[in-house]
Structure 1
Amino acid sequence: MFIKNKSAHSFDKTVSLTLEFLKLKAIKVFSVVNHQKNAEEIGLIMENETVIFFGSPAVGTLLMKENPEIGIELPSKLLIYSIGDDTYILYKDPEELVNLYGIKEARNAIEKLNLLYRLIVNNII
């Protein structure tokens, strides 16, 4: 299940606020993929859409040590996109990872990730 929140800000402001928040919290940003820009480069037009890949190697490593297959979900990511004048933040509910990958010992890492997503969204929207 995905969790979607509407931002009170423009697309560009939502992206910049998200990146600023991650930097402020010393959370590593691994990559920022601008789908609109990539589409534009090959002559296609689409609305704004960016994925931010971020996380903590310490937290991710705990999860992957318990079940290496969870690595397909990492690093964590947020999708920020716009439809018309509305901007949304979307992410996968970390609680789903518990059952999907049988996480027991690193449950605390999932709780930290869940809290982080909520902090990001609450500080941005």
Structure 2
Amino acid sequence: MKPDGLITLRSSHGPVQTMDRLVEAVTRNGMAVLARIDHAGAAEKVGLNLRPTEVVIFGNPKAGTPLMQEVQTTGIDLPLKALVWQDEAGATWLSYNDPSWLAARHGLGSGKDKVLGIISAALENCARQATGNA
């Protein structure tokens, strides 16, 4: 089952390498990495098992702020996030929210199409670099 608005790419690298490559790509594309959240590591600390699952939070205020200026609730979905995870078969995946889905979710006007296009292209580029699908 594919959640609405979620873009998922299979990676040709393991989870750690995929995340490291994503962080490099994000930084190289002028965005700041704000946090990395290791869900599997947190689960382990409380005695639970979880396959590799890590989120990176990143963004650029020059792109995100205009969206929040139009519809402030967009801030719940910004900065951007990407999830690197490993499935039951050991395959690694990278998932992120489709910016057009975020625009529809928050009712952003068509005046933000250019900004959304730039964000979408940057996300796709970073995801492809991280997963080896460039």
TM-score range, shorter chain: over 0.9
TM-superposed deviation, 1:123:
1.2
Q: Which residue of 1 aligns with 2:105?
A: 100
Q: Deviations over 1:45-95 (max 9, x none)?
A: 110000010000111110000000111111100010002421000111111
Q: Which residue of 2 aligns with 1:113?
A: 119
On the 8 A contact 2:100/2:116 being kept in 1, the answer is: yes
Q: Deviations over 1:87-110 (max 9, x none)?
A: 000111111122222212322221
SS of residue paired to 2:13: coil
| 1:124 lines up with 2:110 in the alignment | no
Q: Percent of aligned pairs with the same residue?
A: 26
TM-score (norm. length: structure 1): 0.94
Residue type of the alignment partner of 1:123: Q
Aligned length: 125
On the 8 A contact 2:70/2:108 being kept in 1, the answer is: yes
TM-superposed deviation, 1:22:
1.5
Note the residue ranges of structure 1 that are not aligned, 5 or more in a row.
Answer: none
Q: Deviations over 1:13-72 (max 9, x none)?
A: 101111111122231011110000001111111100000100001111100000001111
What is the RMSD of the two structures over their aligned residues, measured on CA atoms?
A: 1.1
Q: Deviations over 1:1-24 (max 9, x none)?
A: 211110000111101111111122
On the 8 A contact 2:29/2:122 being kept in 1, the answer is: no
Q: Which residue of 2 aligns with 1:30?
A: 34
Q: Which residue of 2 aligns with 1:63?
A: 67
CA distance in 2 between counterparts of 1:97 and 1:85 reads: 30
Match of 1:18 among 22, 29, 47: 22
